[in-house]
Amino acid sequence: MAWFKKSGDKKDSAPQREFDRVKCDGETLTLITESGSDGLSYELLDVSLGGFAITGYEGPLHGNQYFEFRFNGEEKSGPATIEGFANVVRVKDGMLAAKFTPQPKIKAFFRDYIDQK
């Protein structure tokens, strides 16, 4: 019987996701510049209640940087759009992953949006 966990034991060290990812199909994310105008738009790879990933990104954002965005999607009732803030988790090989900052309005929006998918 082992009293202490071995430092090389990888079984329990894999990070668990707090929220399930939902694959996107046609949704885009527009970056909002510091001046408040629309920047470039990117195709969303996936979204969750905790954040999102976009593809085709080759910009200046880097890990742990905050930015403003506009989500552009479609619901059965029509366009679904919301603006909010996110924090960059990683940028690698043309993909940017970000997590939402604490925003109850964003979480409620994506809970409803994901439930309809």
Enumerate the H helices of 35-87 as residue ranges. Answer: none
C-alpha 90/C-alpha 69 separation (Å) is 16
User: pLDDT tens, 1-55?
Assistant: 555 555 555 555 556 667 888 999 999 999 998 877 789 999 999 999 999 999 9
C-alpha 1/C-alpha 58 separation (Å) is 51
- The answer to whether the beta carbons of residues 28 and 82 sit under 8 Å apart is no
Nearest CA-CA partner of 71 in 38, 27, 111? 27
**Between the CA atoms of 53, 58, 63 and 68, what dihedral angle is there, to the nearest 10 degrees?**
-70
In the chain the domains, ranked by start, together with CATH numbers, are 22-116 (2.40.10.220)
Which run of H or of E encompasses 61? none
Give the pLDDT of residue 69: 97
User: pLDDT tens, 55-97?
Assistant: 999 999 999 999 999 999 998 889 999 999 999 999 999 999 9
